[in-house]
Amino acid sequence: MAVAFTLAQLLLVRPGMGLGWDETVYVSQVGAHAPAAFFSAPRARGVSLLVAPVASWSSSTALLRIHLALLSGLALFLALRAWRGLFPVRVLVLAGALFASLWVTLFYGPQAMPNYWVAVGASATVGCFLRACDGPGRAPWWGLAASAALMAGMRPTDAVWAASPLVVLGLVRRHRRALAVLLAGLAAGAAEWVIEAYVRYGGLLHRLSEGSAIQGGLGWHLAVADQWRSLGGRSLCRPCTGAPPHPVVTFWWLVLPLLALLGCVVAVRARRTTPTLLPSACAATAAFPYLFLIDYAAPRFLLPAYALLALPVADALVHLAGAAHGRGRPVVATLLGLALAAHLAVQLTVLTHVVDDATAQHRGWSRTAGALHRLGVRPPCLLTGGDAIPVAFAAGCASAATAGHNADTTEHAIAATARRIPVAVLVSAGARPPGYAHTWPTAPFDGGRLYYSVPGSGP
């Protein structure tokens, strides 16, 4: 299963697709290709550490994609292995296939983004926690600590949400050692993020507050419909308007909680409730902030919930296939097979659309970077304005912003920088350039105009 997942990523998500906006932020922290982009409060450096073995010495996107595809396949294998003995092998294989075949899993597996890693980390954490509570051996303890650290190193806040049912269970049933190892793993993974909060953001509470502000202010926001709308292939739905996706595309999402509930009923009847109810509870807490506390959506946000729900859903499907008797069994098996085949076809169709759109966008950024180089804006250089972060990375420039979530400088500072090194401002169609760039030369680029200043190039 893990091998098939890895090959599917390499074949379906083009290794040369280019880096997305958020990816350039993470990769630039460790790469030598361009100066590090502004690192906002919600981000954690786990992804940067993950890509460092390649990004620290190579600017090849294809090589980075292969590196991440191989690691994501290995991580899926280890996450499923953590559940050995808790579910039959056939259930684990089906659970892995269900999770790995989602377009959002295939798309983000080879990307320098944290959500897939939180997902496999959450699944492995729950499995290792259950095995550590119920059986002897060293492997569950090491696996529990490592997977919890992986989650927290990628996104500390997501790790807290996903692990909260485990903490409650550990306290109620007095699994002191398992609880201690879990908390130690979470603390180890989040240590750098917490230390950085005091070094760069004025303290932990201030960083959390700043992160909340960047996400639109955490509070009661019913984002269920937004997440549903994003399933048609929108990587970021902010604001989430426009026509909803075709019902065929979202049918699986609506059926998912029903199948998970059926899996819980099956588990209760089989008297093995904890291995099914616990991942379901962790899936619910992992999804809760993204369904009810933020006012926008992205399909990747729910990857941890999908990874955890894949287990009870697979258990329910295996039960349905085996519940029929006599002549009804091949009929049920055929219907389930057809449903899964249709589901896979839908996922691959959406994936193709998403990859095509992402590739076109990334090529647009590369074209703009090429235009900047032809105009004389070459490293060392500075870019600001819309799409400055990904275009600057492609051009080998630094990026800066005077407003918004990534604000890190002033107009006066940019004007002063323009007297020393090349500076360009990317202005979208219909917008006006900042005051300091009014007299600069201008040229068109994809979607707008750029204003540029190259010291020593003119009168």
Within-domain flag for 188: yes
Mean pLDDT for the chain?
91
Within-domain flag for 280: yes
Summarize pLDDT for 386-421 with one digit per residue, the tens.
889 999 999 999 999 988 888 888 999 999 999 999
| Residue 387 sits in the same domain as residue 283 | no
Answer yes or no: pTM beyond 0.75: yes
Instruction: Please name the residue ranges forming H helices in 231-272.
Output: 247-269
Within-domain flag for 344: no
User: Which of 323, 343, 378 lies at the terminal end of a domain, its last residue?
Assistant: 323
What is the maximum span of the chain, computed from C-alpha positions, in angstroms? Answer: 89
Average pLDDT score over residue span 65-92: 95
Cβ neighbours around 35 below 10 Å, total: 18
| Residue 168 sits in the same domain as residue 246 | yes
Within-domain flag for 346: no
- CA-wise closest residue to 384 among 346, 336, 431: 431
DSSP β-ladder status, 382-385 and 398-400:
parallel
Cβ partners under 8 Å of residue 412, min gap 6 = none
| Residue 309 sits in the same domain as residue 385 | no
Average pLDDT score over residue span 293-307: 94
Q: For residue 325, what pLDDT is reported?
A: 63
| Residue 290 sits in the same domain as residue 374 | no
Q: For residue 324, what pLDDT is reported?
A: 63
- C-alpha–C-alpha distance, residues 13 and 110, integer Å: 8
| Residue 291 sits in the same domain as residue 367 | no
Q: For residue 268, what pLDDT is reported?
A: 84
For residue 459, is pLDDT > 60?
no
What radius of gyration, in Å, describes the C-alpha atoms of the chain? 24
Average pLDDT score over residue span 18-30: 95
User: Which of 267, 302, 323 lies at the terminal end of a domain, its last residue?
Assistant: 323
| Residue 165 sits in the same domain as residue 269 | yes
| Residue 198 sits in the same domain as residue 251 | yes
Cβ partners under 8 Å of residue 368, min gap 6 = 387, 391, 394, 395, 426, 445, 446, 450
| Residue 286 sits in the same domain as residue 400 | no
Domain count, the chain: 2
For residue 88, is pLDDT > 80?
yes
Q: For residue 430, what pLDDT is reported?
A: 81
| Residue 246 sits in the same domain as residue 389 | no
Q: How confident is the model at residue 62 (pLDDT cuts 50, 70, 90)?
A: very high
| Residue 319 sits in the same domain as residue 365 | no
| Residue 50 sits in the same domain as residue 109 | yes
Within-domain flag for 354: no
Domain that includes residue 146, residue range: 2-323
Q: What is the side-by-side strand order in the sheet with 382-385?
A: 398-400, 382-385, 423-428, 448-453, 442-445
For residue 213, is pLDDT > 90?
no
For residue 212, is pLDDT > 60?
yes
- C-alpha–C-alpha distance, residues 88 and 96, integer Å: 13
